[in-house]
Chain A
Amino acid sequence: MGWRSMFSILRRNSLVPLLLWVQVALACAILSNVVFLAAQKLEPMLAPSGMSTRHLILASQIHSQGRAWTQGEVRGATRMLREVPGVKAVSVAMGVPLTQDIIFDLALEGSTGAKVGVNAYAGKGLVDTLGLKLVAGRDFRPSEYRATGIGGNFKTAKQPVRPIIITQALADALFGGKAVGKLAHNPEVRVHQDYRVVGVVRHLLRNQLNLANDGRSDDSVLLPDYVKSSTLLDFAIRVAPGTPSGVLKQIRKVIHDQFGPLMGPDAKAVVNFYDVLRARAFESQRDALWMFAGIALTVLIVTLVGIIGLTGFWVQKRTRQIGIRRALGARRGDILRYFMAENAMIVGAGAVFGMLLAYVGNHMLMQYYELHALPKSFLPTGAIAMLVLGQLAALGPALRASRVPPVVATRSV
């Protein structure tokens, strides 16, 4: 049987294949969008942090009421934290990974002309405390640090060119590879500020996790700022391997004793190991992933049931025709191949329309909601899933059809 007869059969009995086609198109459109949304949620979870996270403790939401913490208070607390047994390094910071209490929002433009929005972390010795891997250049020199803080009373020295440490991903985006010694500037602010790249780290996860997708997870930089006086500050603390977990209690006590009195009744510092904070930071992402997995699975099952049901009926309806063809010399394999090919054709047509539907639907929703554009690479995911599913669903009915004995043709005509 050639393609032409297949078409003519489809044309004459168009309702059943049409219903199948609609189903496949809808399922395909939903699936590629769901897979894309899930990938968006998954990307920040899979992104490398760039840090040595096993013995890292982060403290955040240390927020004073009334006045900023003085340089003396910040220094005193840092010293006391260093004295806790097992603590190897302490950095006072403005912004630490996984927390969004302080977001340094910066834009950079380098020699390639690409403008990239980045998150910055500031604090003395962050490269060591976070355990970042320098792949080129060097860490900041002590003389390069300048005072920073929110609401503190101090003057910041003007630096026409500020040293900066960027990630490898940023080096590629801003300079097309080698970055050390090169200049970038902020295209968004009116005051011109240049940044000279002094070092490149392999990875560093940004703290705006909602933006850590589309390959933007490594869009973060380090600035040579030390926290002098501030109403809001964070700590990064590295402890020695093998330190008992009781160290967390001691660190919490130091932070509570040193900062508690000014923090107000309802403010609460968040102090915990990186891994615990990570699990918490990705909680909503994980929930969303489960939901998407559930949707995808349900869509697949519903479609599978639908295809099996329709194909089964259609085969049954043509039992006599199959018998005639078998009597006329068609082999079992021919019948099997015919039904599988027919299924592939209907499902394939549905999948093509489904891809179009997915694309159009995504773009229509984008007009009204904050939604990323569905990349074309995601379109075939639904289509391939549908083709495989269709073949699986058709296998049973097709095998049944191939077992129809030729003698059926002679009955009850």
Chain B
Amino acid sequence: MRYNFELALRGLRRFPKSSVLVVLTVALGLAACMTTLTLLHVLSADPLPGRSQDLYLAWVNTLTSKPSTSHSLNGVHPVDYRTIKLPDAEAMLGAHKAVQQTALADMTAVVSNEDGTRKQENQTLLATTSSFMPMFGVTLRHGRDWSAAEGKAREHVAVIDTHLARQLFGTTQAVGRSIRIRKTLFRVVGVSEAYSPQPHFYDLADWTFSTGPEFHESVFLPYTSALDAGLGPDYDQYCDDASHKQFMEGFEKFGERHCDWLSYWVRLDTPHQVAAFRAWLDDYAEQRQALQGIHRAVHARLFSIPQWLTVQRVVPDSVRLNAWMAASFLLLCMANVAGLLTARFLRRSGEIGIRRALGAPRRAIFVQHVAEAAAVCVLGGVLALPLTLLGLWILRLQQHGDSSLARLDPAMFGFLFALALVVGILVGLVPAWRASRVEPGLQVKSA
């Protein structure tokens, strides 16, 4: 192997111009591929590693109006985040059919300290139940989360994150203090670490990916007391008796009991639990539909997180298309390099012939040339690293949304070199095979 490596290096130095060309071409192809794949990798990453495989979004179809799902000639189609009405959420929470369950909705409000001397505008509040934090893995730094009993009693308690605690109170030790939301004082029972999974899968209405510091929930509070304080969801989907008039004012007009606004999440650990819950959910929805005198072909749906992210098209098509384009470009570069290497290897036919004549088997010639190709391509991989970083920097410059997240992580860094090596070996196969076919006698004669 060492001998092969030495020969490869020698070969590289023998034709410096063509070596530079090959390395550059490989580097370009690898960098294009890595740039697009890194963005794809970041956008399609698991939002909650270790937990996401057990979480499911449950949806029941109980609106008395039929929400339009039409796709117009202009491609305008209503987004459906599969939220449900409050009575259904409460009935399902009460039934306790999953390991854990919670309902949630994002709300926006101005949050201030007790006397209103410090104020933070445009804060996102997550109105939910006491199960959210253990289910979704929010870590507390100080204090505790609220209990189910406190939620039921509609107590005015809240958990705020360290960032907001510092802004309002100058310290993260905010347990026991109070925050004011509208006219209501909420007692801070806990302070949490910053929490912003990517993508923001449990409520996609406000944002999909946090592309700035403003995209995170700074307050967690019971949905019961949030409603008491006069807050409403940022987005409601559809309401009973919907007509065109409810556009943008549904919740105010129809209220929490008649509009879809809560995302309902459950934790189910085993396939058996999933099947049992699915059956129960379907039954429940069918009963509710019968009670309300409506008939729908679909009663209910249960989405795993991967299904949910696919249905909602969280990763834009353009990102996947660009990855395909880059992959075909890499293929072009590989064909190109295979050509350049063939030319280079056959230029040394004489040398190969002599080695063969001196007794080197075809296999040795083959391995030597594949090794040389791999060496060139790994060198290309090294050069591709700065090029990839440049590509990602250019992506981040384009300040529209998701691409600002594109950064190279260690996994992708390792992948780059693995890819370079695989590309090198693949690219070397054909030229090395051709080189190993060189007839010893013919070459020695004409050299």
Q: How far is the CA of A361 from the CA of B338 in the complex (A)?
A: 23
Confirm or deny: B153 has a beta carbon within 8 angstroms of a beta carbon on chain A.
no
Confirm or deny: A262 has a beta carbon within 8 angstroms of a beta carbon on chain B.
no
Chain B: interface residue count, which band?
Answer: 35 or more
Nearest CB of chain B from residue A106's CB, rounded to whole Å: 8
Q: Please tell me if the beta carbons of B339 and A16 are within 8 angstroms of each other in the complex.
A: yes
Q: How far is the CA of A150 from the CA of B400 in the complex (A)?
A: 29
Q: Please tell me if the beta carbons of A284 and B332 are within 8 angstroms of each other in the complex.
A: no
Q: How far is the CA of A20 from the CA of B335 in the complex (A)?
A: 8
When C-beta atoms are compared, the residue in chain B nearest to A210 turns out to be B75
Q: How far is the CA of A202 from the CA of B332 in the complex (A)?
A: 45
Say whether chain B's binding surface is mostly helix, strand, loop, or mixed: helix
Most chain A CB neighbours (cut-off 10 Å) among B75, B347, B446: B75
Q: Please tell me if the beta carbons of A309 and B343 are within 8 angstroms of each other in the complex.
A: yes
Q: How far is the CA of A106 from the CA of B73 in the complex (A)?
A: 8
Confirm or deny: A50 has a beta carbon within 8 angstroms of a beta carbon on chain B.
no
Which residues of chain A from 259 to 313 have a CB within 8 Å of any chain B CB?
A: 265-266, 283-284, 287, 295, 298-299, 302-303, 305-306, 309-310, 312-313
Q: Please tell me if the beta carbons of A116 and B21 are within 8 angstroms of each other in the complex.
A: no
Q: Please tell me if the beta carbons of A287 and B398 are within 8 angstroms of each other in the complex.
A: yes
Q: Please tell me if the beta carbons of A117 and B73 are within 8 angstroms of each other in the complex.
A: yes
Take A105-B72, A118-B74 as given contacts and tell me if A26 and B328 are in contact as well, using a CB distance cutoff of 8 Å: yes
Residues of A within 8 A of B324 (CB): 365
Number of A-B residue pairs at CB separation under 8 A: 127
Residues of B within 8 A of A34 (CB): 325
Q: Please tell me if the beta carbons of A15 and B342 are within 8 angstroms of each other in the complex.
A: yes
Residues of B within 8 A of A317 (CB): 346
Take A26-B335, A107-B72, A361-B328 as given contacts and tell me if A266 and B248 are in contact as well, using a CB distance cutoff of 8 Å: no
Q: How far is the CA of A368 from the CA of B310 in the complex (A)?
A: 12
Q: Please tell me if the beta carbons of A188 and B398 are within 8 angstroms of each other in the complex.
A: no
Q: How far is the CA of A119 from the CA of B74 in the complex (A)?
A: 8
Residues of B within 8 A of A118 (CB): 74
Q: Please tell me if the beta carbons of A305 and B328 are within 8 angstroms of each other in the complex.
A: no
Confirm or deny: B58 has a beta carbon within 8 angstroms of a beta carbon on chain A.
no
Confirm or deny: A337 has a beta carbon within 8 angstroms of a beta carbon on chain B.
no
Confirm or deny: A56 has a beta carbon within 8 angstroms of a beta carbon on chain B.
no
When C-beta atoms are compared, the residue in chain B nearest to A19 turns out to be B339
Which of B72, B335, B434 contacts A22 (CB under 8 A)?
B335
Q: How far is the CA of A103 from the CA of B324 in the complex (A)?
A: 32
Which residues of chain A from 91 to 131 have a CB within 8 Å of any chain B CB?
A: 103, 105-107, 115-119
Q: Please tell me if the beta carbons of B21 and A305 are within 8 angstroms of each other in the complex.
A: yes
Nearest CB of chain B from residue A353's CB, rounded to whole Å: 13
Q: Please tell me if the beta carbons of A302 and B333 are within 8 angstroms of each other in the complex.
A: yes
Confirm or deny: B442 has a beta carbon within 8 angstroms of a beta carbon on chain A.
no
Confirm or deny: B336 has a beta carbon within 8 angstroms of a beta carbon on chain A.
yes
Residues of A within 8 A of B332 (CB): 23, 26-27, 30, 299, 302-303
Nearest CB of chain B from residue A403's CB, rounded to whole Å: 20
Which of A116, A303, A314 contacts B336 (CB under 8 A)?
A303
Which residues of chain B from 242 to 279 have a CB within 8 Å of any chain A CB?
A: 245, 247-249
Confirm or deny: B37 has a beta carbon within 8 angstroms of a beta carbon on chain A.
no
Q: Please tell me if the beta carbons of A313 and B343 are within 8 angstroms of each other in the complex.
A: yes
Confirm or deny: A232 has a beta carbon within 8 angstroms of a beta carbon on chain B.
yes
Which residues of chain B from 404 to 443 have a CB within 8 Å of any chain A CB?
A: 430, 434
When C-beta atoms are compared, the residue in chain A nearest to B75 turns out to be A211
Q: Please tell me if the beta carbons of A151 and B339 are within 8 angstroms of each other in the complex.
A: no
Confirm or deny: A168 has a beta carbon within 8 angstroms of a beta carbon on chain B.
no
Confirm or deny: B363 has a beta carbon within 8 angstroms of a beta carbon on chain A.
no
Give the A-binding residues of B (Cβ under 8 A).
18, 21, 25, 28-29, 32, 70, 72-76, 108, 110, 121-122, 245, 247-249, 317, 320-321, 324-325, 328-329, 331-333, 335-336, 338-340, 342-343, 346-347, 398, 400, 430, 434, 446
Q: Which 7 A-B pairs have the closest CB atoms?
A: A117-B73, A313-B343, A117-B74, A306-B336, A369-B317, A19-B339, A26-B332
Question: 24 A-B Cβ contacts within 8 A?
Answer: A15-B434, A16-B342, A19-B335, A26-B328, A30-B329, A105-B74, A106-B74, A117-B75, A119-B74, A151-B249, A188-B70, A208-B75, A211-B74, A266-B121, A287-B400, A295-B329, A302-B28, A302-B333, A302-B336, A309-B21, A312-B343, A313-B347, A369-B321, A371-B321
Apart from A29-B328, A295-B32, A369-B320: 17 A-B pairs, beta carbons within 8 A: A23-B339, A27-B332, A103-B74, A208-B76, A211-B75, A231-B248, A231-B249, A232-B248, A266-B121, A295-B329, A303-B336, A305-B336, A365-B321, A365-B324, A369-B317, A369-B321, A370-B317
Give the B-binding residues of A (Cβ under 8 A).
15-16, 19-20, 22-23, 26-27, 29-30, 33-34, 103, 105-107, 115-119, 150-151, 188, 208, 211, 231-232, 265-266, 283-284, 287, 295, 298-299, 302-303, 305-306, 309-310, 312-314, 316-317, 361, 365, 368-371, 412
